[in-house]
Amino acid sequence: MSEMMEELRKIYQQHDVPKPLNLLFVDAGITRHITRGEIVSAMDFARRNRPDCPGRTALVGPSDLSFGTFRMVEGAAGEFSRHIRVFRSTEEAARWIALGEASSGVA
């Protein structure tokens, strides 16, 4: 989770954030239990720091552990929940992001 947060921090701090801001995170292997507190903290960080622009975030969890963890993130997303989805494959995630771009011209 900390690696994902560090990547988000780098993206959010860019002066030229792409619009729409579409993100695709693929789990490289969750090796420990992620607590609900860590997930809530990550979503609070996103709420405070995400640029106000359209976009979608796809989380790819190929293993049962990563898929379940990412589903908890999706559940904690609150007002962002319509912009976050969890998938088992990168191909499914990329299609969902592309559909958002095609349907509105941006996302």
pLDDT in tens, 36-70: 888 888 888 888 888 888 889 999 999 898 899 88
pLDDT in tens, 66-106: 899 889 888 888 777 778 999 999 999 999 999 887 665 54
- What is the number of other CB atoms lying within 10 angstroms of the CB of residue 60? 21
- What is the model's pTM? 0.80
pLDDT band at 107, cuts 50/70/90? very low
Burial of 12 (0-12, 13-18, 19+ CB in 10 A): middle
Q: How many domains does the chain divide into?
A: 1
| The amino acid at 19 | K
Residue 22 belongs to a domain with what CATH number? 3.40.50
Query: Domain span at residue 80?
Result: 2-104
